[in-house]
């Protein structure tokens, strides 16, 4: 399995107590890359490797104590910073859902029920494709 930034994803998953396969699976669906900025129809944008929405800038600014301009630049251009933010977002959603991983994964994309379920299915399909021949973790 060739997943860019896998070491960073594994570290972030460990730090935020996330299943190790969740971040690579989300990234496979998001399809982001360093420097990528994708405008959304609601006036926000998705940034970088994990396509972090700009609506997270205030929370990430407060968390990092960096200016929003610096946070935005790092989300866009520094893959491991972006992945760390995705880990923090997933931990937030896991806490909000009482540990319901699939709902938290769906929330990463949307809190709208139909969009949430569709995204869950996309991430599950990506995980299956990426990890179907992987040996189980011990």
Alpha carbon of 33 to those of 16, 17, 21, 80, 103: distances in Å? Answer: 22, 24, 18, 11, 25
pLDDT tens per residue, range 109-126: 999 999 999 999 999 999
Q: Is the pLDDT of residue 2 over 60?
A: no
- What's the total number of domains in the chain? 1
- 62 domain-assigned: yes
pLDDT given at position 76: 98
In a domain, 137, yes or no: no
What percentage of the chain has pLDDT greater than the value 90? 91
In a domain, 138, yes or no: no
Any long-range contacts for 73-78 (C-beta under 8 Å, 24+ apart)? 75/47, 75/48, 76/34, 76/35, 76/36, 76/37, 76/47, 76/48, 77/34, 77/35, 77/48, 78/34, 78/48
136 located within any domain: no
Task: Tell me the C-alpha to C-alpha distance, in Å, between residue 114 and each of 55, 91, 106, 107.
Answer: 21, 22, 9, 11
Domain, as residue range, for 16: 6-131
Burial class (CB in 10 A: 0-12, 13-18, 19+), 61: middle
Task: Report the predicted TM-score, pTM, of the whole model to 2 decimal places.
Answer: 0.91
Looking at residue 131, its pLDDT comes to: 86
pLDDT in tens, 51-105: 999 999 999 999 999 999 999 999 999 999 999 999 999 999 999 999 999 999 9
Regarding predicted confidence, which is higher, 100 or 137? 100
């Amino acid at each position: 399995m060739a997943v860019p930034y896998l070491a960073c994803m594994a570290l972030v998953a460990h730090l935020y107590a996330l299943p190790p396969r969740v971040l690579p699976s989300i990234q496979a669906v998001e399809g982001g890359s360093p420097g990528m900025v994708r405008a959304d129809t609601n006036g926000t944008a998705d940034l970088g490797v994990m396509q972090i929405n700009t609506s997270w800038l205030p929370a990430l600014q407060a968390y990092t104590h960096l200016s929003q301009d610096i946070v935005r630049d790092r989300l866009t251009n520094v893959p491991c910073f972006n992945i760390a933010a995705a880990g923090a977002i997933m931990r937030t959603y896991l806490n909000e859902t009482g540990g319901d991983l699939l709902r938290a994964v769906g929330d990463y994309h949307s809190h709208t029920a139909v969009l949430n379920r569709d995204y869950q299915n996309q991430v599950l399909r990506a995980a299956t494709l990426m990890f179907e021949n992987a040996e189980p973790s011990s």
